[in-house]
Structure 1
Amino acid sequence: MQRIFRHLLSSSRRQSCPGSRQQRPVIWLLLLTFAGTAIGVTASLAVAQQNDRDITQDENQVIEELTLPEPPPQAPVYQPAPEPAPYEPAPEPAPEPAPAEAPAPREPAAIEPDPEPAAPPAATAPEPASSPTSPGANPNPSSTPDAVAARGPTVPYVLEFNRSPVVGNRLRLQGVFADARLGFTRPRTWNLRSAKVLVRFQHSPALLANRSNLTVRVNGTSVGSVPLNRKQSEIGQVLLNVPPNLIQDFNEVTLVAQQNNSATCTDPADPTLWTEVLPDSKLIFNYQPKPVKLDFTRYPYPFFDDLSLDPNRVTYLLPNQVNSAWLTSAARFQAALGRLAEFRPLETRLVKNLNQAKADERLVVIGTPEEQPALKSLKLPLAIADNQVLDASRNPLPAESGILMLATTRNNGIPVLIATGNGPEGVNKAVQFLVQSKDRQIGTGYYLVVNSVTPVPTPPLRQWPGYLPEKNSFKLRELNNAENEPFEDVTVRGAYAPPVEVNFRALPDDQFTRGSSMNLVYSYGPQVNPRLSTVEVRLDGAPIGGKRLTSEQGAARDTLNVNLPAELVKPDSKIQVAFNLSPREPANCGRINDQQLWGKVHADTNFKLKRQNVVQIPDLKLLATGYPFAAPQDLSTTAIVVPETPSVTDLSTLLEFSERLGRLSQADTVKIEAYTQDALTTEVKQRQNLVGIGVRSQFPFPEAFQENGFALKNVFSRKWNQSQIQALPDSEGVIKEVISPWNDDRVLLALSAQTETGLQQVQNLLNQDPLFFQLNGDTVLISANQASASGYDPDAYNLEFLQQSSQRRLDNSNPFSKVSRFLQDHWFVLPTGIVVFALGLYGITQLYLKRVEKQDK
């Protein structure tokens, strides 16, 4: 800048001749302009330098106040316990030992595990005892605990076919060429050594042995075949080896039966063409457990493994005193686990000390060091003194900072997730970091200090992922498929092609009216028989429209407009588009050459809906979708309340309900709240949908059991309308929903019982899908017929549904829709209104005529 000034001044001196006097004003103007620019740039540089100095000072101050320790040599490593799966068949009783000095017999397994396959000597030889830092040592990065399996014997695992709900009592293969598929996963802690599949079957005695066989495929690769040559439907079995390298994270076993009962021509519709795979068929694995280095990069693994063949088991360590802050953090964390689990089983329990945790569980510790004294007994990267977490300089971390740490206990056999801080705000921030899917993606290492968490705005009330969009006109690509991805064009092939299925889930507060329609856009290939080929649209299996495929050359982007019956669209509805394709050429000996037949559903298929935002409460049937507690989807309008001194059963019920809401909702965060009875405020009562938990004697909302309707009373009495009884023992659980006494637009849900045994029945209903999705009415009574009842057994539980009070309508539609619906509901008012309107109009007309007559006179 100084050089520019000097150049201009020198130029002005050279031009200070009489002939250049006219240019002096221009030169001085340029000088002034550059001077102003220089001053502005200098000021900007000064401000920038000052800002840099301020930022540097702030960073230095933070570094001085918070000093994190250097990473220890190795991160904590979790070593899975090699325990057999709980689903392994029970062994037969061992024979009595001989009275002589013979050794005691070994307890036989249901299926003897295969011997461990021979491995190269380098793989089985023990490692040298020398340290990696010793002279001449050559450490191999691939030999870290994360890359290789633990040395040791293999562990057997048996996976029976009947664990799949589609199997039931048998897996039936019907027709000339039939197949069935079963899926399974490989847990992340497995180093698979061997795999086998044992298939037990029986088939029709009419099958020809030389033309009928059963083939087993694993991930598309055939692993063996057996002829169907058993006589008189005798049970046969075949044990087939599966190469371990065929087993991936997600796998599929396909059973293919080719069946013929004639040497010349077999009728595919013949009912004697059948083979049944028995439910005790199984997959047999031998694996070595792999140690896992704990790191937040892999979170939520190992605390939740979506590839696990067994239920994920999570255990919470109870604090020395339960307060609202711990309840809220635990409820939010459990709801986030429910979202991760989706349809997978999840088992949760609470323990009072670290020694009560089992080897196959994952331990979660939430709370400050003062609330969780057991933290001092764990090997942690950050020190704890005077009930505060310290940094490397032995200074307490800020109370508003959340701290997340990973550790192990019991000889590295149980992984521990710790969410702590030196204050409740820090603990909440640590948990909030884990429940917000976008924030936890940046986590790494095995301990984190969470200084801030991105605030996530509450989504709109009726924006539910996986359900119909809020707008009434939309296209198929705006819906999600079974993989929760936007719908794309789908093509199906063959004469017996499966239908294209679309999730058409209405919002819980949607009320459809006449006039809703679907405009199907589809294509199909040539060579179809126009007399026998059709496209059909079904809604929950009920046909609602169809059209004949008339072009032998095929058609591109043909359309079919279908009316959607208002009474059939529900929150769990599905639309199926079925192509019934028949070839032009006749069948050859009952076999249809149909590979040239295809049909396609296009993603620009569009919908036009007529609906209103109306819902009736209370209604427990709506709880199957989470409504109204999951509106909005971040659960910000829900508050769970437990007694002032909650029991372990109360807390377990709180976790089960939070998990269920997590399974039923999708959002970027969780904002559910939880309180003890003494911490609940009037503002929360008026603002939130409330969930009360506790036995009758300590239930936080006695308003839920008033004189009208079903009520639990003292001395084990119960009342229903004018009837009152005393029942002893009373082990039934009660779920009751009423309109909130503090807000007519909110509901109060009671999860209660006379005893804790009854409250455990409420937990069973919340945990088991077959029971939960039966909810109806506004009150349900739950009882179990046996101690360890299964939700899939229809005779294991008794559910009694009651409707105790009239429902209230919540109407958020526009005024025109309200008037229209009022006239529809009260149609008898319309004729009366017309007569009254006509009489009034007649009276007004007569008055007007009389006034005109008087003016004429």
Structure 2
Amino acid sequence: MTLSLKPWMAALVLSAATQAAPAATVRAPAVPAPSAPVAVPAAPAADLPPVWQRSRRLSDLGYASDVMLLGIRNSQQIEFGLRRDRLVSAARLSLEFTPSPSLIPGLSHLRVYLNDRLMGVLGVDHDRPGQAQRGELALDPRLLGDFNRLRLEFVGHYAEACEDPANSALWLSVSRDSAILLDEQALSLPGDLAHFPAPFFDGQDNAALELPVVFAGAPGLGEQRAAAVLASYFGSLAGWRGARFPALFDRLPEAGDKPPRAAVAFATNDRRPTFLADAARFPAVDGPVLELIDHPDNPYTKLLLVRGRDDADLLRAVEALALGGPLLRGSRVAVGELPPPAPRQPYDAPNWTPTDRPVRFAELLDYPQQLQVSGLQPPPVGLDINLPPDLFVWRNQGIPLRTQYRYSVPGNPEDSRLNIRLNDQFLTSLELRGREQRSELEELRLAVRGGDSGSESSDLLVPSLKVGDRNRLSFSFDFASVSASAQRDRCLTNLPVAMHGAIDDNSTIDLSGYHHYMALPDLRAFARSGFPFSRMADLSETLVLVPREAHEEQVATLLETLGGIGAQIGYPAFGVRLTDDWQVAAQTDADLLLLGDWPQALRERADLEVKLAAPYDRLLAGRAVRAQPTGRQLEGGVAPQAAVEIAAEAPIAAVVGMQSPQHVGRSIVALLAAQPADYALLRGALADSGSREALAGSLALIRSSGVSSQFVGEPYYVGQLPWWLLLWFHLTGHPVLMAAVAALTIVLGAVLVWVLLRAVARRRLEKA
């Protein structure tokens, strides 16, 4: 078999390091005297793998509310994964549920399946009808794998005969606080990069990624840039889980952590952490090298060494790690010459829906059969549509949505519908027609497809005002059917037929033809989409200004900020640049991400909204944000827009957005903090989804009580619009000016018509 490699792949020189085990000399043990007992040495405690208990609540697995099981929708499947470096020795299910008070205890129960194997049954308590109950059930750990399905099936009865399965008395509510309890222990994985990104990131783990990054000391700009690119790569892998990157200077993560944490260490020939001081074991390298080793104090924890001769080698090793992951193998990989990553185009982030062409639903799927449902009352199916926040959809005719769908022939077609919603807002309802209502052509196409299902399509326009940067397009098949009679004098029972519905993958949504134009500053766009830096997926138009003296909290803030942007756009920041010189930043035509405190040149600006760490240990100096103070306030000496100075001892941080004073159309987003405690507060806010949602406007103050956002100063605009649309858009905010322009246009038009008519009359008189 011939293996063809791309040029950049061929640049990776992969060398697997083999370690030969020393030969062992086997000696026959001495036979003890019959009276002497045989001494059995106890295994040292250090050799025992770490063991811990982990709880996975339903709320941690994506269930925002309690799970309601009904008579006709009586099953719920809960999916969860296990990391490859973990072994489960015991498992159990702790359920909190509330049954309907109308249930018959002896006939009603809850079946629990693990990977399609029945684990047990939980019955309804006879003495507590309609009250919350708690039950625990053992799960067989031998059935657990990388991906697992826990299925709950509700069997409910409210009468011994003539029951209606759709009766509202048949229900059981499972609390979102129910949990899967696992006793896990660490596994000693082989030192082979073929499993990368494991154990540093495992896609089966839904917990937030925490990956410590180790440096020899305070890193320079080159080391920080390489670590930032690596953090953005792992952030793109973590996605919705979130990622934390604690920075450690010349120290390793605690070996006694449960569960153990893998880490990444950066080292050059001249600067290396203390645990790499052994030159015989870790000799100098002559190029970029990636090496996987065990933690010096814990064989169940792995360390990834990113080594090189200088900072350029470190960056090249990180790029090889992000680009050539499928080719990695062995415990040690030497990286050859790598061509630069392909240049990106604006708005081509992998996590964003393309806006330059119609997009098939198949391109937006997260997993197969995502748009297929079955059951008498199937749950809605949907797609996530993430868009650039500056997409200009103001006052247009709508976004074309072409939907193709298939469904089982409903028993009651007059009342069966396909409901379409966008962001939980109703858009339209399409009739699910019966077989006798369809045309012959549809019958012919039905016969070609096979089966006895319907096939329809619909074109509609999505109101553009309902579209934002994060959107959820959902489809709900509502089948109406005639159920059996439950009357005692006319008791009829039948087996309900399962209904099926599917949205075809070839359905399309067309977002092409829209311009990009947006008012800034808008910290919500930064918090939710990384904008304006994410306009280029590789952050090639982004410059990060960092303090000259780096400390652990500042470096961790840098890594987690870049990791968060990578999670939002799904691509590593190969093109990001770093500097600690404001003069260089001021001359660079790029969007600026500022970390730390304002440079002196910006601090002296009179229009700066907030300043941190001036003469006091904790100082907040800015401008009053109240628009018009009252007369009493003026009498007391508080002038409008007066500067305010507040000295405090507790930690405080801020996020500020503003236009670059040197480059029109460029933005500055400043993450302001002074002391390590301020950086810790800032990191916590950026990692918490609720705090990120609270970031808005142009100024956000972060305190221990939460995030307070406000808009200060004048907005500016980025993007481009046609002149006529630009004029119309800005005039709508000034109705008086708009009326004056309209009146002037009418007068000018009337004058022009009058002049033309006079000219025509003069010509006719001259001919006469």
TM-score (norm 1): 0.73
- Structure-2 separation of matches of 1:168 and 1:840: 65
State the SS of the aligned residue for 1:211: coil
Which residue pairs with 1:314 in the alignment? 211
Which residue pairs with 1:805 in the alignment? 713
Residue 275 of structure 1: how far off its partner (Å): 3.5
Find out whether 1:329 has 2:235 as its counterpart. no
Residue 780 of structure 1: how far off its partner (Å): 0.9
State the SS of the aligned residue for 1:836: helix
State the SS of the aligned residue for 2:245: strand
Which residue pairs with 2:348 in the alignment? 463
Residue 328 of structure 1: how far off its partner (Å): 0.6
Alignment of structure 1 residues 308-457 onto 2, 5 Å: 308=205, 311-354=208-251, 357-359=254-256, 360-374=260-274, 376-377=276-277, 382-384=282-284, 389=285, 397=286, 401-408=287-294, 409-436=296-323, 439-457=324-342
Residue 580 of structure 1: how far off its partner (Å): 1.1
Which residue pairs with 2:516 in the alignment? 613
Contact 2:194–2:326 (CA under 8 A) maintained in structure 1? yes
State the SS of the aligned residue for 1:325: helix
Alignment of structure 1 residues 5-404 onto 2, 5 Å: 71-73=18-20, 155-161=51-57, 164=60, 166=62, 171-175=67-71, 178-233=74-129, 236-266=133-163, 273-278=170-175, 281-308=178-205, 311-354=208-251, 357-359=254-256, 360-374=260-274, 376-377=276-277, 382-384=282-284, 389=285, 397=286, 401-404=287-290
**Can you list the C-alpha shifts for 1:737-767, whole angstroms capped at 9, x where unaligned?**
1011121221101111354423322111111
Contact 2:656–2:671 (CA under 8 A) maintained in structure 1? yes
Find out whether 1:542 has 2:454 as its counterpart. no
Contact 2:410–2:432 (CA under 8 A) maintained in structure 1? no
Residue 563 of structure 1: how far off its partner (Å): 2.2
Q: Which runs of 5 or more residues in structure 1 are unaligned?
A: 1-65, 75-129, 137-149, 390-396, 786-797
Q: Which runs of 5 or more residues in structure 2 are unaligned?
A: 1-12, 29-45, 443-453, 625-640
Find out whether 1:518 has 2:421 as its counterpart. no
**Can you list the C-alpha shifts for 1:188-238, whole angstroms capped at 9, x where unaligned?**
123334433343444344321122001111122221012213423566544
State the SS of the aligned residue for 1:367: strand
Cα gap change, 1:380 to 1:845, in 2 (>3 Å) = farther
Structure 1 range deviating more: 342-351 or 308-317: 308-317
State the SS of the aligned residue for 1:804: coil
Which residue pairs with 1:838 in the alignment? 750
Structure 1 range deviating more: 593-602 or 746-755: 593-602
- Structure-1 separation of matches of 2:456 and 2:380: 18
Aligned amino acid, residue 213 of structure 1: H
**Can you list the C-alpha shifts for 1:341-399, whole angstroms capped at 9, x where unaligned?**
11224332122223554442223221313222526435876513xxxx3xxxxxxx2xx
Contact 1:351–1:357 (CA under 8 A) maintained in structure 2? no
Residue 819 of structure 1: how far off its partner (Å): 5.8
Cα gap change, 1:132 to 1:290, in 2 (>3 Å) = farther
Contact 2:207–2:241 (CA under 8 A) maintained in structure 1? no
From 366, 369, 376, give the equivalent of 1:482: 366
- Structure-1 separation of matches of 2:593 and 2:571: 21
Which protein, 1 or 2, shows the higher relative CO under an 8 Å CA cutoff with sep ≥ 6?
2
Cα gap change, 1:574 to 1:168, in 2 (>3 Å) = closer
From 649, 653, 676, give the equivalent of 1:733: 653
Residue 728 of structure 1: how far off its partner (Å): 1.7
Cα gap change, 1:622 to 1:293, in 2 (>3 Å) = same
Cα gap change, 1:333 to 1:491, in 2 (>3 Å) = closer
Cα gap change, 1:416 to 1:261, in 2 (>3 Å) = same
Aligned amino acid, residue 283 of structure 1: I
From 579, 596, 599, give the equivalent of 2:477: 579
Residue 415 of structure 1: how far off its partner (Å): 2.0
Cα gap change, 1:586 to 1:560, in 2 (>3 Å) = farther
- Structure-1 separation of matches of 2:227 and 2:558: 9
- Structure-2 separation of matches of 1:602 and 1:367: 51
**Can you list the C-alpha shifts for 1:110-139, whole angstroms capped at 9, x where unaligned?**
xxxxxxxxxxxxxxxxxxxx9668699xxx
Alignment of structure 1 residues 544-583 onto 2, 5 Å: 544-553=427-436, 556-583=454-481
Structure 1 range deviating more: 612-621 or 586-595: 586-595
Aligned amino acid, residue 602 of structure 1: D
Contact 1:734–1:751 (CA under 8 A) maintained in structure 2? yes
Aligned amino acid, residue 702 of structure 2: I
Cα gap change, 1:604 to 1:371, in 2 (>3 Å) = same
**Can you list the C-alpha shifts for 1:161-207, whole angstroms capped at 9, x where unaligned?**
25626556855545565333433222212333443334344434432
Contact 2:566–2:572 (CA under 8 A) maintained in structure 1? no
Aligned amino acid, residue 622 of structure 1: A
From 698, 703, 706, give the equivalent of 1:778: 698
Cα gap change, 1:820 to 1:67, in 2 (>3 Å) = closer
State the SS of the aligned residue for 1:252: strand
- Structure-2 separation of matches of 1:812 and 1:231: 70
Residue 283 of structure 1: how far off its partner (Å): 3.2
Contact 1:200–1:281 (CA under 8 A) maintained in structure 2? yes
- Structure-2 separation of matches of 1:728 and 1:775: 22
Residue 704 of structure 1: how far off its partner (Å): 9.7
- Structure-1 separation of matches of 2:200 and 2:49: 25
- Structure-1 separation of matches of 2:498 and 2:359: 32
Cα gap change, 1:614 to 1:440, in 2 (>3 Å) = same
Residue 575 of structure 1: how far off its partner (Å): 1.4
- Structure-2 separation of matches of 1:73 and 1:601: 57
- Structure-1 separation of matches of 2:17 and 2:469: 53
**Can you list the C-alpha shifts for 1:437-463, whole angstroms capped at 9, x where unaligned?**
xx2322222222212123222221022
- Structure-2 separation of matches of 1:625 and 1:545: 29
Matched residue count: 687
Cα gap change, 1:347 to 1:283, in 2 (>3 Å) = same
Residue 663 of structure 1: how far off its partner (Å): 0.6
Contact 1:618–1:739 (CA under 8 A) maintained in structure 2? yes
Aligned amino acid, residue 832 of structure 1: L
Contact 1:527–1:596 (CA under 8 A) maintained in structure 2? no
Residue 848 of structure 1: how far off its partner (Å): 6.3
State the SS of the aligned residue for 2:481: coil
Cα gap change, 1:756 to 1:700, in 2 (>3 Å) = farther
Aligned amino acid, residue 450 of structure 1: V
Structure 1 range deviating more: 465-474 or 533-542: 465-474
Aligned amino acid, residue 713 of structure 2: S
Find out whether 1:492 has 2:382 as its counterpart. no
State the SS of the aligned residue for 2:535: coil
Cα gap change, 1:291 to 1:682, in 2 (>3 Å) = closer
Aligned amino acid, residue 451 of structure 1: G
- Structure-2 separation of matches of 1:734 and 1:780: 6
Cα gap change, 1:202 to 1:497, in 2 (>3 Å) = closer
- Structure-1 separation of matches of 2:344 and 2:171: 53
Which residue pairs with 2:549 in the alignment? 645
- Structure-1 separation of matches of 2:702 and 2:93: 40
**Can you list the C-alpha shifts for 1:519-557, whole angstroms capped at 9, x where unaligned?**
322233224312211122111121111222232457643
Contact 1:692–1:700 (CA under 8 A) maintained in structure 2? no
